[in-house]
Structure 1
């Protein structure tokens, strides 16, 4: 135990302060500043601001040469109204920390407290407060920032809280732990007409109504109701998330429509296949209906894969801290942009139970369990001491 009860009271208050003022992806300026103001009193050796946007890298150097270890959290919140009714609930309408990134960042702040009291014996520890995880853009932007070349790690680790898993239990495994996903935006364009003479125009209505079920049918290995589901290697899934057509008027037969969907696969290779299938389907249906079309992609997440070496570091720490672990709920259908750190280092992510009956992530009644601050910090600090001394 490196955190006292007084420490945990103060850290909990800090987490709830972050919770009250959420900022969505790309807008995390004030959140990053709150973290910096709080952690700079711990006298780290270096702080890099504005990394990949509003990212913050807080660096503690060891006394001897050794491995460079990066531990990542996320700064961003979600564009969702919070409905917890808590005294510290969001003060920003339409935005809320409903994924627990406020808690993850507080865990990293607690590591700063521990490292300020006892520097690593060797190597370097980088506390990476990453922006824009929810859009899939943040990790890529951090890696592309020229200043990241100065702190490229040997090992990268991260966590995410997981409702449904018993409080304080961990789920971890080698290999793919999060699916690849991306948003596809399909725009259809025809010709308007008077609503009394729709035959004089080219409406996207039939194409839109055909595309939605056809895209969903591209799925393979989908879950069945009331059955446990683990995605297999051929898993593919399409979820329709938004559709719009024409103007809000009764006198116009529409010309334009837009359809958004999320494509999801277990591997990046399968994502390429699914994208090709979706594009071929759009082309066929649009041409059949004499429509012009365009396709764009957004919110691009690569699959997240745990390396054997980094996974071993985490499991060794779990055993030392007597924290129960298994492979429950893995691999997950949800996506995570942490996988991009695997392109520059050994990397692994573990999932920390938020409670079996806890509100789900991205739900308006979700809140991060403060009990996880101490547990997450203990796991990471054990990893630090095992690798860096």
Structure 2
């Protein structure tokens, strides 16, 4: 079964929704204009209940099916990124310094398309909970919505989400059982020495030399401390220090990210990072402080749901259009919190060749929206069929 005919008929409408949302990107929990637009469309579709203001601007809409049954959750993220857009499209961002550089405008349009179809047809039992979530990029809106009780309040039994995938074959679905995206943690290291004239380094305690040595030493955690079979990334992304060429500064700041799939590896990183920081402070005769921030946990697909989702995806994209065993991705996703609260699965939908996500020239491919919406619709109809 290819794209649902009724949803194919909505292609231009979904593109219009998406392109409007593209003009008004918003950050974090502050997705007010986006949420208002989404709520207006849902009311037009005739959803049975509309719950707004969850996690500040999040929405859960309920569509009742035919007869008794469980509740399936479908989630789309709504927020953008603090990036200045360089696409040159006619519907480019009108919010300076903000853009939809990750396709959340497209995810929202796909779920709206599925919502319109499901509200019209209601060819399923039980209920559908449509989850429109703010703050996926920053702020952990998924965690906030779970903490505010959506899973229990709406009696959600299982939950699913899709993310677009630049570089993957157009219209293909990609997923796996188990960890599909990594945990994302952040570290901050502040080094304090003794500044002075750059021509008299012997009168100083130079934090720059210590920082250079420390950055290299952190990579030994990957190369010498972890099991080579365990996946781990440690990336230093910022070093800030100094003001001019002839002054050795007093302080240096180092920042970066750690990506893991396994808690034991995460624990190892924290332990070794602290030991390395303390050791460098002692060996260079200065002070150094480590602050380790635990971020999004790994996104882990549940086996039964991932296998079922791949089967349904095959109905839409064809068996050859589904890869049910992709390699895990070292990026992170706060849908992880929903998968910790309920069984479910996360899939990636190929949009063909394009600029990558989080790039100023990225743009969601509107042609995949009917494919994603059809997947959501068929997922509901297959998971919760109407009794004969």
TM-score by length of 2: 0.90
Cα distance in 2 between the residues matched to 1:5 and 1:148: 31
Q: 1:214 to 1:168 in 2, by over 3 A?
A: same
SS for the counterpart of 1:79 is coil
SS for the counterpart of 2:290 is strand
Query: Mean Cα displacement is larger for which, 161-170 or 57-66?
Result: 57-66
Q: CA deviation at 1:160?
A: 0.9
Q: CA deviation at 1:118?
A: 2.1
TM-align CA RMSD: 2.4
Tell me which residue corresponds to 1:321: 316
Aligned length: 378
1:166 aligned residue (169, 172, 194): 169
Q: 1:286 to 1:135 in 2, by over 3 A?
A: farther
CA contact (8 A) 2:172 2:317 kept: no
Tell me which residue corresponds to 1:72: 75
Cα distance in 1 between the residues matched to 2:139 and 2:220: 25
Tell me which residue corresponds to 2:343: 346
Q: 1:185 to 1:10 in 2, by over 3 A?
A: same
Q: Tell me whether 1:380 sits opposite 2:383 in the alignment.
A: no
Query: Mean Cα displacement is larger for which, 332-341 or 344-353?
Result: 332-341
1:363 aligned residue (352, 359, 363): 359
Q: 1:132 to 1:209 in 2, by over 3 A?
A: same
Tell me which residue corresponds to 1:224: none
Q: Tell me whether 1:257 sits opposite 2:252 in the alignment.
A: yes
**Post-superposition CA distance 1:45-85 (Å, at most 9, x none):** 22222222322111112343312111111111112222111
1:41 aligned residue (40, 44, 51): 44
2:18 aligned residue (15, 18, 22): 15
Structure 2 residue runs of 5 or longer lacking an equivalent are none
Q: Tell me whether 1:288 sits opposite 2:291 in the alignment.
A: no
Q: 1:302 to 1:214 in 2, by over 3 A?
A: same
2:236 aligned residue (220, 229, 240): 240
Q: CA deviation at 1:312?
A: 2.5
Cα distance in 1 between the residues matched to 2:137 and 2:180: 17
CA contact (8 A) 1:136 1:337 kept: no
Cα distance in 1 between the residues matched to 2:10 and 2:205: 66
Cα distance in 2 between the residues matched to 1:88 and 1:65: 43
Tell me which residue corresponds to 2:263: 268
**Post-superposition CA distance 1:254-286 (Å, at most 9, x none):** 222211111112323322222222222112112
